[in-house]
Amino acid sequence: MPKTTIRETLLRQRRRLPADQCMSLSLEIQSYLMALDLFREADTLALYSPVQNEVYTEALFAEARQQKKRIVYPRVCGDDLEFVEVVSRSDLVHGYFGVLEPGEGPRVDVGEIDLLVVPGVAFDRVGHRLGYGKGFYDRALRAAPQSCRLAGLCFDFQWMTALPYDAHDVRMHAVVTEAGCRYCEQSRQ
């Protein structure tokens, strides 16, 4: 099945999720991630601001803040993402396509990020990710060092056996859904 068909089908399904169900499932997913060594051992954590019924990340922010982790969010800069440290969620302003992103703050090199939490339209068992098609995260993930752990968040209906992919695609180490954590079958290349 072509990427565009998969993307359209899953986005339509995700947009239909009732707000209360999206919130309750998001809390389960975040709880699973917070219980993992990936989260506990990370000193610097990159989160995203959810759009279009993506898995929420507010509980991750609150727990990371409580554990005194450094938290960064992506900000669109031309065709790329740059990561900026955020102390409070009030530091986020409407940016590219209306997505909340850091207004001001110190930029953080992607090489300093221990855990990069990644949104996606779909993920598969070997860690491939299908995004919105603009390539922002793809470029950022390619710049991440091998030491940076990558965790995709999605609802269980977005978990696929296999997705179409390109040779340059970067795979996740783990994908977390309301069904739990799935470590990807093959490690990142």
Binding residues for substrate: 54
Q: Which residue ranges make up the annotated binding site for ATP? A: 3-7, 129-137
76 φ/ψ angles, rounded to the nearest 5 degrees: -70, 130
Binding-site residue positions: 3-7, 54, 129-137
**Buried/exposed code over 104-138 (b: 16+ C-beta within 10 A; e: otherwise):** ebeebebeebbbbbbbbbbbbbebbbbbeeeebbb
Q: Does residue 166 sit in helix, strand or coil? A: coil
Report which DSSP code applies to 84: E
Amino acid 84 reads: V
- DSSP calls for 102-133: ESSS-EE-GGG-SEEEE--SEEETT--EE--S
Residue of 13, 21, 92 whose CA lies nearest to 58: 92
Rounded-to-integer distance, Cα 153 and Cα 167, Å: 22
Number of H helices, E strands in the chain: 5, 13
